[in-house]
Amino acid sequence: MTDPRQVSAERVEHGLHIHSPTYRLSLDDARPFARLSRPDGQLFSELFLAPSLHTTHGLDRTARLHPPAISQEDGAVTLRFLLEGGIWQHKTLVLRCDAHGIDSHVEVQGEGELTDVHLFGGHYNGQQRWGSGFFQSGAHFSSVFNPEPYQREQRTIPAEQSTAIDVMGTSLPGKAHWFYSCTVGVRLSSGRDRAQRRTRRRSGRCA
């Protein structure tokens, strides 16, 4: 009998479904998005799968998103998406899906000093009928969590309000926040009324 706590991958016509006890991730081969929802189908977010990692040499983009390579291990499914058309020799988006959430990171090969990194958003020209430009994820949740200290000490904000994690905080207007060092990787966790985001250190997860 299949362990209900495990995560499984199911190939469907023109797509892929990832099933877990707490969420479902649905991919359509014709769209650069993944639909993150509850097991009962309630939609959390439409995640854009073509990140951009800009450097001092220029802006990064994606012209082609390949279907993911799938690997399974005890309690997790890992998806590796090869992306083509940008400034990097090789660029791969990695999603590791376990029973509690999704860890995401991007692997690149090439040279350049990073200036801006966009995860679950980016410059894309892979579909002629959609045009080209900056694409972003769709939010179907009410609030987000930002661990970076802010002057107003507001830990959750409305999903439609912008926020930042950076090292540029000062007392100047619009920059009244402080730096937060855990900026490598993103974790998406399921919840009834919110989608929480947590980040990881290079050598472990932040508290």
Q: What's the confidence (pLDDT) of residue 62?
A: 97
- The two tokens of residue 194 are 């919110």
- The two tokens of residue 115 are 């200036």
Q: What's the confidence (pLDDT) of residue 109?
A: 95
Read out DSSP for 82-112?
A: EEESSSSSEEEEEEEEESSEEEEEEEEES--
Q: What's the confidence (pLDDT) of residue 197?
A: 34
- Check if the beta carbon of residue 19 is closer than 8 Å to that of residue 12: no
- Check if the beta carbon of residue 151 is closer than 8 Å to that of residue 169: no
Q: Structure pTM?
A: 0.77
Q: What's the confidence (pLDDT) of residue 189?
A: 54
Q: What's the confidence (pLDDT) of residue 192?
A: 40
pLDDT by residue for the chain (207 residues), tens only, comes to: 345 558 999 999 989 999 999 999 999 999 999 999 999 989 999 999 999 999 999 999 999 999 999 999 888 999 999 999 999 999 999 999 999 899 999 999 999 999 999 999 999 999 888 889 999 999 888 888 777 776 666 778 787 777 766 666 666 766 666 655 554 445 555 444 333 333 333 333 333
